[in-house]
Structure 1
């Protein structure tokens, strides 16, 4: 008999590890709903969805979270210098990007990384793409990584993936409630509104117990909040990458992607000096540059840039 943990147990352990202060609550919710975890065969596109009885995903989608995470991390080295100059000189981001003589090759390499990661969605299997030499292969063993930077990205990817799974878990609850209470179709929550509600619930679940965790583990509240917030920001970028360009403005069952990013990233009250603002500003600049949008914005801090760019994405 195999002692390998089930897919359901692996997902549960990931969630418990991402939000350890709420581990018992996660286990109780998991037990109450009794839903399954189904790993589907990899195919073109991405698979991550939920019904009243199960959460379904494929391993290629997990690989996509990993590859986007390790690729998006490089946004800091590409865009932070120009943003810093913009803050110091009172210039627009567009102007400082244009005078940055060294940015060109860095940005080209960065865009190629993101494009390579996105190409994973067009294939049937991870093995169909050329995996970047400097990105470790996906693993659930953090200790197997060889340097501190990779371990830091591992943590953020795990938090981002936990956010996505918590989002799907909220869908499980919504479907189960509809089935149990036999809610008529016309009285059910609008599906686009439900997507936003699931994002908000997942963010709240990851962040509402921070004070308890920080106190029990000799961390400051800001230290824990900034790490969780950075993981959620990475989830937002990954969801943006998974969303076809024609669907960015919403429609049908999905809200505009800018509204989702705002729900995930907006509203944090971290100090201006927090690395969260640097990381997130660079991520948002990268999204706008990928869309070919001008960045004629000024700001006195990375935080101010984040608030401005979030408003422009909506």
Structure 2
């Protein structure tokens, strides 16, 4: 059995407190009651992160993959954001013709596809060091202060929120194991864990915004973007080539987006929906599943229609 390296609980605690500081009292109770432990596994093929009893373990590759997917998500915003914004303001639609007429789209999609391909290579190899890291993406673990561009800092924040969403999902598994009340159907447990992750990040966001002097909708929208990035990472990790291996234990990608993102109680025209729409267009374009025309009444409505096509 591969050796596990213990990870100090403070690493995860600090991440979660940074993502949703208003939950600090609940996290303290959770730590005392369930005594979660964390461990790093040796890199191998795949991207496993799992909770067994009170121990959550993952590989270095797991979050390296999600980090790269976050940067790919920003490339999706660059590629498709103008079309989404134009649809919101003018046409009320996303059309294949407009995408085809965009002379700059090819170069933007090339950058996007390159990062998604690299993320796939992270999944496939057994040693992250065997890959040549793309120079345009900072290494995971780089401090926010050391990042040179606004784009990199935005991606850092999104990646941290996405990682927090992942750990909150695993925390619900730990809680189920300790209380012995997990759903009997594995996919139902996964859905409950997704609901828990979304709720923990969003349910008390107004309390945090009020205490911090921030705008509630803006804070909530940023957290939804983190959840959307987590859903995109899941979609990439559980891609079509391994979908059959997880279909009996994990919900389909469509359901992950619904539970993590679409159930968020955020205004229909919030920025997060425009960002999420770009991620969804990227998934659909990559799978050649985007129809000739998608009409929509609001950014959230667009996301709902795109998710239905996954």
Q: Confirm or deny: 8 A CA contact 1:83 1:93 kept in the other structure.
A: no
| Residue number among 270, 283, 297 corresponding to 2:294 in the alignment | 297
Q: Confirm or deny: 8 A CA contact 2:48 2:62 kept in the other structure.
A: yes
Q: State how 1:68-107 maps to structure 2 within 5 Å.
A: 68-87=69-88, 88-90=90-92, 92-107=94-109
Distance 2:251 2:267 in 1: 30
Aligned residue in 1 for 2:3: none
Aligned residue in 2 for 1:245: 240
Deviation at 1:38, TM superposition (A): 1.2
Deviation at 1:127, TM superposition (A): 1.7
Q: Root-mean-square deviation (CA), in Å?
A: 2.0
Question: Number of aligned pairs?
Answer: 302
Q: Confirm or deny: 8 A CA contact 1:17 1:23 kept in the other structure.
A: no
Give secondary structure in 2 for the equivalent of 1:56: strand
Q: Confirm or deny: 8 A CA contact 2:22 2:207 kept in the other structure.
A: yes
Deviation at 1:300, TM superposition (A): 4.0
Aligned residue in 2 for 1:49: 50
Aligned residue in 2 for 1:120: 122
Deviates more, 1:207-216 or 1:268-277: 268-277
TM value normalised by structure 2: 0.91
Structure 1 position 284 matched with structure 2 position 280? yes
Distance 2:93 2:19 in 1: 39
Q: Confirm or deny: 8 A CA contact 1:65 1:238 kept in the other structure.
A: yes
Q: State how 1:45-194 maps to structure 2 within 5 Å.
A: 45-87=46-88, 88-90=90-92, 92-139=94-141, 141-178=143-180, 188-194=183-189
Give secondary structure in 2 for the equivalent of 1:49: strand
Q: Confirm or deny: 8 A CA contact 1:82 1:100 kept in the other structure.
A: no
List alignment gaps of at least 5 residues for structure 1.
Answer: none
Give secondary structure in 2 for the equivalent of 1:133: coil
Q: Confirm or deny: 8 A CA contact 1:299 1:305 kept in the other structure.
A: yes
Q: Confirm or deny: 8 A CA contact 1:192 1:252 kept in the other structure.
A: yes
Q: 1:47 to 1:306 in 2, by over 3 A?
A: same
Deviation at 1:273, TM superposition (A): 4.3
Following TM superposition, the consecutive aligned residue runs of length 4 or more in structure 1 with deviations greater than 4 angstroms are 246-250
Structure 1 position 196 matched with structure 2 position 191? yes
Q: 1:112 to 1:47 in 2, by over 3 A?
A: same
Structure 1 position 208 matched with structure 2 position 208? no
Distance 1:34 1:92 in 2: 48
| Residue number among 220, 231, 234 corresponding to 1:236 in the alignment | 231
Aligned residue in 2 for 1:220: 215
TM value normalised by structure 1: 0.90
Deviates more, 1:285-294 or 1:269-278: 269-278
Distance 1:301 1:40 in 2: 43
List alignment gaps of at least 5 residues for structure 2.
Answer: 1-5
Q: Deviations over 1:12-65 (max 9, x none)?
A: 221122111112211220221112111111111112000112001111111111
Deviation at 1:107, TM superposition (A): 1.1
Deviation at 1:188, TM superposition (A): 4.8
Q: Deviations over 1:69-95 (max 9, x none)?
A: 112111111112233444523554212
Q: 1:49 to 1:6 in 2, by over 3 A?
A: closer
Deviation at 1:251, TM superposition (A): 2.4
Structure 1 position 311 matched with structure 2 position 308? yes
Deviation at 1:8, TM superposition (A): 2.0
Distance 1:125 1:198 in 2: 29
Q: Deviations over 1:165-203 (max 9, x none)?
A: 11011111111222xxxx7xxx95211100000000111
